[in-house]
Structure 1
Amino acid sequence: MVVYVVMGGELADVTLWAGELGAVHERFVHRFNREEPRQSALAYMRGLIAPLERKNGWTLAEEAGHAGPDRIHRLLNRIEWDADEVLDDVRDYVVEHLGDRDAVLIIDDTGFLKKGIRSAGVQRQYSGTAGRTENSQIGVFSPTRSRGRTLIDRRLYLPTSWTDDRERCRQAGIKDTVAFETKVAMAKAMVRRAIHDRIPFGWVTADAAYGYSKGWRFELEQADVFHVMATTRHDTVVTRWSIDHPVHDLFPACPDRSGSAVPAATGPMAHGSTTGPEWRSALAPARPATLGHRPPKRSLTEEISYYIAYCPAGTTLDELIRVAGSRWAIEECFQTAKGECGLDEYQVRRYDGWHRHMTLAMAAHACLTVLRARQLDTHKAETDPPSSSTSASPRSDA
């Protein structure tokens, strides 16, 4: 579930989250060479969680008891520290407390509306946050959904208008070695990193902007990474009938499930072709629907969204629906991280500064997610009746 810590008073005990935030901070405090940045990083995260109307350099400094924002600005822009190393420590914290082999790794991007032209990566481009073309920065993120939803990776997208102008890049702190990468390439790198770092997850999912990439889907299949990817009706797949068969032509041939729609966050889905006895590439058309709602038969004539899945033979339709529906969790994750942890409230223009802010905001969000998961576990233990059996769970490794 999404964490709401300040709103609603669910975790009203300030000492509770302050203590947990200190535990997160202890994970990466050794990444700083001096005491000032160590304390500034903790103060920065405390300010991001605090119920402040605005979260900028001045308000965060005031919350920390500083005379001015200089220490905050030094932390984000001038002091030497590696945000990727800190992120590694935050990810270890997330895995320790929320790790789940059935977790879903989600890839998506979000926009940050900006003024001016000096902030790294800014230009007029489509922003899903605004729902239109705006002057903005775009960040590609990877959250994980397991016992909680929290962000575990981030990259700032740099359009060619930036990477083709190296002088402009240098002024924003972007090294000459940082070349243009598509968002799909960033997504590939994030999943590779998660695999390399042994982040536990069972599935990957993404919207059609990423799922349409045959190259990425093939890479995931070669690595035996199960996935459910949204795609477009113009995509093609290999079937028993032909190579590169149009996806939209397969839907009429799918079993008619109009009378037995499965209640789920994404609505009814239908299987397509299979390949091989052990693995299959399953085609799964779907439409958005309210949880628990059974769309009427006539809804099947409306616009359809398509998903392509790579999964073990025998995977149930309900499981595919669960994974596809997990993708919507990222919107709630973004909303919570922005609303509760100041993910979108930053005053930095440099490339490193953006990644530093995002890393500390993600650390704060991870802290709140862990607290929320712990609270839910406690509530469940208090309300669930005691088990009459002491035998191991069927899912146990024992």
Structure 2
Amino acid sequence: MRFATKPRLAWEMIAAALDAGVEAPWVTGDEAYGQDPQLRAALEARGTGYVLAVACSTRVRINHGRTSLRADTVVGRLPVTAWQRQSAGIGAKGPRYYDWAWIRIGTGNRHHLLVRRNRTTGELAFYLCWSPTEVPLAELVRVAGARWSVEECFQTAKGQVGLDHYQVRHWTSWHRHITLAMLALAFLTALAADAAPEPPADTYHFARSRDPITLTVPEIRHLLVTVFRPPAVATARLLHWSNWRRHHQATARRSHYRRRTRWIDHETTLEY
């Protein structure tokens, strides 16, 4: 086996998935992948769009490729009107709103520098983007926010199915553990998805609903453990506690969404 960098390993996996017929219009990743020009070039050659994080020191070419500047220098020259508030997706406490700006870079119309600004701390994050066709800012924001679901997936796998709970020294034993853990998580996720109703169009109305939250992966795992290892208490009592927990979680969600809504309305009032 020869040494290969993370971007090289990533491209080998992406290429294998594309060759197998997996439909993946976008690729997103952190700075370890965004800083690699060979990975970006390979994705463009396959017609796969990307939104890849890069460092603030990354140099980009603006003015139709005539000027080369650091990404953070370009942001410093943007007018106030360049920033737009958009949600990067639904988080645990409601929509994840940030300020976003995008700048065309290079000589074409499909390369962009995407910048995210935290509305509270002012912290900036930078992304290099390319798409086979012209897309709106909202689509790039959506792809950038998709990384959150990947991180959440790893966290859930570690907490619910013991993805990182192993002490092995050999490839075969490690591969067996990881495969079984991923299979267990896929099984629980499929059960949770099957039990979940169709999401309504009005997300805030859904968040304020008095109904308990839908069955989650942790809750399903807890119930399955109870079924296979019956405790001393009655089943009806366990189901009662499960229903109580989900009602309590629904109450917490309503509070988070209500606070987030007031904060958004307050920010909008100040802007106008």
User: Does TM-score exceed 0.5, indicating one fold?
Assistant: yes
Alignment of 1:85-234 (within 5 A): 178-234=1-57
Structure 2 residue aligned with 1:363: 183
Aligned length: 193
Structure 2 residue aligned with 1:349: 169
If the length of structure 1 is used for normalisation, what is the TM-score?
0.44
Alignment of 1:314-393 (within 5 A): 314-376=134-196, 379-380=197-198
Structure 2 residue aligned with 1:106: none
State the 1:190 CA deviation: 1.6
Structure 2 residue aligned with 1:263: 87
Instruction: Judge conservation of contact 2:61–2:105 (CA < 8 Å) in 1.
Output: no
Q: Which of 101, 109, 112 is residue 282 of structure 1 equivalent to?
A: 112
Cα separation, partners in 2 of 1:305 and 1:363, compared to 1, 3 Å: same
Structure 1 residue aligned with 2:58: 235
Q: Does 2:85 correspond to 1:247? A: no
Distance 2:49 2:164 in 1: 32
Cα-Cα RMSD:
2.5
Distance 1:194 1:281 in 2: 24
Q: Secondary structure at the match of 2:100?
A: coil
Q: Secondary structure at the match of 1:369?
A: helix
Instruction: Judge conservation of contact 2:60–2:71 (CA < 8 Å) in 1.
Output: yes
Alignment of 1:6-17 (within 5 A): none
State the 1:236 CA deviation: 2.0
If the length of structure 2 is used for normalisation, what is the TM-score?
0.63
Amino acid at match of 1:236: R
Distance 2:78 2:172 in 1: 49
The runs of 5 or more residues in structure 1 that have no matched partner are: 1-177, 289-294, 385-398
Amino acid at match of 1:250: V
Cα separation, partners in 2 of 1:183 and 1:325, compared to 1, 3 Å: same
Render the CA deviation track for 1:339-369: whole Å, top value 9, x for unaligned: 1111111232102221222122112212222
Amino acid at match of 1:287: R
Instruction: Judge conservation of contact 2:27–2:48 (CA < 8 Å) in 1.
Output: yes
Amino acid at match of 2:157: A
| Larger RCO (CA under 8 A, 6+ residues apart) | 1
Instruction: Judge conservation of contact 1:266–1:287 (CA < 8 Å) in 2.
Output: no
Sequence identity (%): 35
Q: Secondary structure at the match of 2:103?
A: coil
Distance 1:200 1:266 in 2: 28
State the 1:260 CA deviation: 4.2
Q: Secondary structure at the match of 1:328?
A: helix
Distance 1:206 1:316 in 2: 20
Distance 2:128 2:13 in 1: 20
Instruction: Judge conservation of contact 2:65–2:105 (CA < 8 Å) in 1.
Output: no
Cα separation, partners in 2 of 1:344 and 1:330, compared to 1, 3 Å: same
Amino acid at match of 2:32: A
Amino acid at match of 2:28: T
More helix by share: 2
Render the CA deviation track for 1:308-358: whole Å, top value 9, x for unaligned: 111244411111111101112122101111111111112321022212221
Cα separation, partners in 2 of 1:217 and 1:266, compared to 1, 3 Å: farther
The runs of 5 or more residues in structure 2 that have no matched partner are: 89-95, 202-272
Render the CA deviation track for 1:282-329: whole Å, top value 9, x for unaligned: 1101134xxxxxx26xx5xx4311011112444111111111011121
